[in-house]
């Protein structure tokens, strides 16, 4: 979370997929949030991040960490022009 907590809405973010490289440059739309309280705006309205059905290896695994160091955190990023369209899925999510 060290890096993500430095982001503010409006900051530019480079989105990277491991093994692929930089896929987009976007703009942070929200401040950092834990995955259990983060919501994402969809066509149906605001949806809790953990209810999106994403293919992620147990993002809620460390939510009980008392000092918050191990829990997953995200920053929502608007990525309007991906460099690799095959990896585009709308807004990017920066994880830490």
Cα 68–chain centre separation: 17
Q: Output the pTM of the full model.
A: 0.68
pLDDT in tens, 30-80: 888 888 888 988 888 999 988 887 776 766 667 777 767 777 888 888 876
Let me know: does 4 contact 69? Beta carbons within 8 Å. Answer: no
CB neighbours of 13 closer than 8 A, spacing ≥ 6? 7, 25, 26, 27, 28, 75, 77, 92, 94
Spell out the domain ranges in the chain.
Answer: 4-95
pLDDT greater than 90 at residue 84: no
Predicted pLDDT at 96: 47
């Amino acid at each position: 979370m060290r890096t993500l907590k430095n982001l503010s809405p409006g900051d530019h973010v480079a989105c990277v997929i491991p093994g692929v490289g930089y896929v987009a440059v976007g703009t942070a739309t929200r401040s950092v949030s834990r995955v259990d309280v983060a919501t994402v705006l969809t066509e149906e309205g605001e949806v809790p991040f953990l209810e999106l059905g994403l293919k992620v290896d147990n993002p809620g695994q460390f939510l009980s960490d008392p000092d918050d160091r191990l829990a997953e955190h995200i920053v929502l990023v608007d990525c309007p022009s991906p460099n690799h369209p095959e990896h585009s899925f709308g807004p990017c999510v920066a994880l830490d």
